[in-house]
A = this chain, B = another copy of it.
Amino acid sequence: MRDPPSDEPPIYRSFPDLVATLEPILLRNGTSDEVARVLATNCASAERDGSQSHGLFRMPGYVKNLRSGFVDGRAVPHIRDAGTAYLHVDAGNGYARPALESAMPRAIGKARSAGACVLAIGNAHHNGPLWLDVEPFAEVGLVAIGVVNSVTYVVPHGGRKRLYGTNPMAFAVPRMDGQVLLFDQATAAMAHGEVAVAARENKLLPEGIGLDASGLPTRSPQAILEGGALLPFGGHKGSSIAMMIDILAGALTSSNFSHQVDWSAHPGAESAHTGETIILIDPTRGNGSLRMFTQRIEDLVAAMADAGQTRLPGERRLAARKLAAERGIAIAPAMWKQLMVL
């Protein structure tokens, strides 16, 4: 979600400074040291990469979910070896990212030794951008496909009621020189945050984005937010992908489907108590060399440019990261004030 335009100049903070600002907020609201460290780093990374929907914007949500008791900030993930190519992690009703980080070295080891590995994280609350969950695997030379199901916002194709979450899928592959090619995209026709911005600005949406509470097409963002639903991207095909993601992230991890998430016993809470699945593949098994594989990826990237694609998926994120490294992370003053209150 983008902040409303402001004339006030942004505040710049270095990455370590921002992490050090966020950690005590999380600690004071009931997390363990380890969870605070992981979440603060993850949230600051999202902000650094220019994600206004998954960065500092999410901090009030972290606080509310922890205070309400819906999410356990002291959860210790339990990793179960479920096969030479399978790790199951029970996040213990905590956030997904600490569970992912605890299992990452073993998942990488399994993928390298078996050729592939499924990392299934259940009983978890996912709250960061999905690209940050797949990128580290590609940085060490693996191909990663990640999916998360979330809270119900999206109507299945031809339906009238919310069923799926915005259910993102992310994909990351290693490029030459340690670079990563990746995308991270929701299966909703528009991100929930963008609908909220349009509602705030009283703007009509394009056709094909959502339905109102009675299941009829609407261009009103308010109608979508107040009991309506988002449509999947790309009609029945996006709807099928949303279904696949609810199955891979929800059923495979023994966690809730998007439509089963229920925070009604925890006033103030609003968090996806669901699952996350990451499929890891060792790309050297086909022809024996990471260099040959990454050269193929460079060939494809060159062909994409030749076909006229002017922007690679993920390019804007890398540009934001570079800028943040040079001059610090730009934070809107209103957001900074909100952090100080927390």
Contact = CB atoms under 8 A, between A and B. Distances in A.
A251 B84 contact: no
This protein's copies in its complex? 2
Interface string A227-256: 000000111111111011011101111100
Contacts of A285: 82-83, 86, 88, 118, 120
Contact of A114 (B114, B282, B300): B114
Given A84-B113, A86-B116, A251-B293, 10 more contacts: A84-B115, A85-B114, A88-B285, A155-B308, A157-B309, A233-B237, A237-B238, A253-B286, A254-B286, A257-B296
Interface of A is mostly: mixed
B234 A118 contact: no
A117 to B, nearest CB: 7
6 contacts: A84-B113, A160-B307, A163-B304, A171-B244, A243-B304, A250-B300
B116 A251 contact: no
B309 A156 contact: yes
Contact of A257 (B162, B233, B299, B310): B299
Interface range on chain A (Cβ under 8 Å from partner) = 35 or more
A115 B247 CA distance: 17
Contacts of A115: 82-86, 118
A13 interface: no
